[in-house]
Structure 1
Amino acid sequence: MGLRGKPSQRQRRLGAELRRMREDVGLTATKAGAEIGLSAAHLNHIEAGRTSISPEKIRALAAFCGCKQERLIESLITMSQSNGRGWWSEYDRTPHNQAARDLAELESMSVRLRAFQWVNVPGMLQSPEYMQALFKAGHPDMPAEIREQFVAFRLRRQRLLTDAKPPEYHAVIHEAALRMQFVGRDVMRRQVEHLIEMARLPNVRIQVLPFRTDAYPGGFGCSFVCYDAAVPELSTVYVEHPASTPFVTDQANLAQFSEAFTQLSAVALPPLALDARSNIPVRRDSLGLIQHLMYDL
């Protein structure tokens, strides 16, 4: 089997975790490979996500490295056996890049998503009109048919929140994102109404971080999403940054982003809490600010 030219994020992550496993105990690729019947070059290709590894080899490597975390080992085996095919595969021949498809696959594997947004409403909570306006404003020269493909892809991603077994979704949205006018007042009003409707879902929690707040976690001026895996070691953070890889997997950085989200949630207004049949706030919360903002739209 030839080497993969463009490994997916899942394939790269599997390799990175196997490399971390051996490096944590000070093993070289030569020594670890010899123990499980692979050359150092072959193991290096596996660790770079360029080729596959069998479940038996994963178990052998874990045993040699002294890893006894059975849930982690089983999750790595599951990652190795996945063919990566899902609804996102239908977009292989569209303008969407690999990172977009990786994101959709990552979402499907997560048990909880925690999103912080400064400027835009998080993609999973956007209305179709808001998406259209964003793509048109950000890419004015994009042909309409291409823009429709991007909207369709994002709408398909959103179906995750209403699946039979949806993940938990928790968003902290800065007030600035709700005051932006570049999408037009009517579009923004309908988007705000859409947020209220999304908050009715039992697995969705939405908070607003107001301009006036007593504290703010320093050093986190970027938007990000924490994708929490069933096995915490395999969680991932997606950072909206154009100059570097958007996926963060280093354990220390994962902990840093997770703690930042916890702090953001703590200083944000309490979540939108609605009566199931009305727009009446159950208590003073993010809904109050949202309703106040709607008067300006």
Structure 2
Amino acid sequence: MGLRGKPSQRQRRLGAELRRMREDVGLTATKAGAEVGLSAAHLNHIEAGRTSISPEKIRGLAAFCGCKQERLIESLIAMSQSNGRGWWSEYEHPPHNQAVRDLAELESMSVRLRAFQWVNVPGMLQTPEYMRALFKAGHPDMPAENREQFVEFRLRRQRLLTDPKPPEFHAVIHEAALRMEFVGREVMQRQVEHMVEMACLPHVKIQILPFRTEAYPGGFGCSFVCFDAAVAELSTVYVEHPASSPFVIDQSNLAQFSDAFANLGAVALPPIAPGAASNVSVRRDSLGLIQRLMYDL
């Protein structure tokens, strides 16, 4: 079997976890590979996500490295056996790329999604009209056909939140994102209404971080999404950046982003609670701010 030219994020993550397991106990690829009948070169390819590994060899490596975390081992085996052929596999050609397919696959594997956004509404909450305006403003030279393909893909991703067994979804959105006028007032008004509708779902929590917050946890000027896995060690953070959007998997960095999100949630307004009383003159929560914002729109 030939080597993969472009491993998916899942395949790279599996390999990275096997490498971490080996390096944590100070084993070389030569020694660890020999224990399970693999050459050092073969194990290096596995750890880079370029080739597959059997469940038996994963268990053998885990045992040799002294790993007794059965849930982690089972999750690694599940990752190794997955063929990655979800609905996103229908979008294997341009304008879509591996990165957007990786996002969809990560979402499907997560038990909770936590998103922080500065200037845009999170993709999982966007209306089609908002998406089109966003793509047009950010990529004015993009052909209309491509824009529609991106909109279609993002809408497919959003179906996850209305699945029979959806992940939890928690968004902290800066007030600035709701005051951006490049999308047009009618589009933004419908977008805000849609957010309130989504907040009615029991597994969706939406908080607004106001301009007039009394505190702000510094150090995180970027937007990011935490993909929380059933096994914490396999969680991932996606960091949005204009040049590149890297996936963060280092355990210390994962903890840093997780703590940052918790701090953001602590200083943001209380979550949108659509069923609460709507006296906007006394409300000091996310829905109250949104209701006041709607008057400006």
> TM-score, with normalisation over the residues of structure 1?
0.97
Q: Contact between 1:121 and 1:178, CA under 8 Å: does it hold in 2? A: yes
Q: Which runs of 5+ in 2 are unaligned?
A: none
AA in 2 matched with 1:29:
A
- The percent identity for this pair of structures is 86
2:124 matched to which residue of 1?
124
Give the whole-Å Cα distance in 1 for the aligned partners of 2:283 and 2:295: 20
Q: Contact between 2:118 and 2:177, CA under 8 Å: does it hold in 1? A: yes
Deviations 1:146-190 (A, max 9, x none): 110000000000000000000000000000000000111111111
2:93 matched to which residue of 1?
93
Q: Contact between 1:274 and 1:280, CA under 8 Å: does it hold in 2? A: no
Give the whole-Å Cα distance in 2 for the aligned partners of 1:256 and 1:61: 29
Matched, 1:45 2:55: no
Q: 1:46 to 1:245 in 2, by over 3 A?
A: farther
AA in 2 matched with 1:74:
E
2:236 matched to which residue of 1?
236
2:268 matched to which residue of 1?
268
1:111 matched to which residue of 2?
111
2:253 matched to which residue of 1?
253
Matched, 1:216 2:243: no
Q: Contact between 1:273 and 1:283, CA under 8 Å: does it hold in 2? A: no
Q: Contact between 2:216 and 2:264, CA under 8 Å: does it hold in 1? A: yes
1:199 matched to which residue of 2?
199
How far off its partner does 1:243 sit? 3.4
What are the residue-to-residue correspondences of 1:127-166 with 2, within 5 Å? Answer: 127-166=127-166
SS in 2 for 1:295: helix
Give the whole-Å Cα distance in 2 for the aligned partners of 1:202 and 1:30: 50
Give the whole-Å Cα distance in 2 for the aligned partners of 1:125 and 1:244: 22
How far off its partner does 1:244 sit? 4.2
SS in 1 for 2:296: coil
2:69 matched to which residue of 1?
69
Paired residues in the alignment total 296
AA in 2 matched with 1:199:
A
SS in 2 for 1:202: coil
Which piece of structure 1 moves more, 278-287 or 190-199?
Answer: 278-287
Deviations 1:118-169 (A, max 9, x none): 0000000001100010011111111111110000000000000000000000
Give the whole-Å Cα distance in 2 for the aligned partners of 1:63 and 1:183: 55
Q: Which runs of 5+ in 1 are unaligned?
A: none
Q: 1:61 to 1:187 in 2, by over 3 A?
A: same
Deviations 1:49-81 (A, max 9, x none): 000000000000000000000000000000000
Q: Contact between 2:113 and 2:170, CA under 8 Å: does it hold in 1? A: yes
1:286 matched to which residue of 2?
286
Give the whole-Å Cα distance in 2 for the aligned partners of 1:161 and 1:280: 29
Give the whole-Å Cα distance in 2 for the aligned partners of 1:26 and 1:241: 34
Give the whole-Å Cα distance in 2 for the aligned partners of 1:245 and 1:193: 29
How far off its partner does 1:94 sit? 3.4
How far off its partner does 1:218 sit? 1.1
> TM-score, with normalisation over the residues of structure 2?
0.97
Give the whole-Å Cα distance in 2 for the aligned partners of 1:98 and 1:280: 47
Deviations 1:231-280 (A, max 9, x none): 0000000000133452000000000000000000000000000129x977
1:23 matched to which residue of 2?
23
RMSD: 1.5
1:36 matched to which residue of 2?
36
SS in 2 for 1:51: coil
Deviations 1:13-47 (A, max 9, x none): 00000000000000000000011100000000000
2:176 matched to which residue of 1?
176
SS in 1 for 2:20: helix
Q: Contact between 2:226 and 2:236, CA under 8 Å: does it hold in 1? A: yes
Give the whole-Å Cα distance in 2 for the aligned partners of 1:232 and 1:210: 30
Give the whole-Å Cα distance in 2 for the aligned partners of 1:36 and 1:105: 30
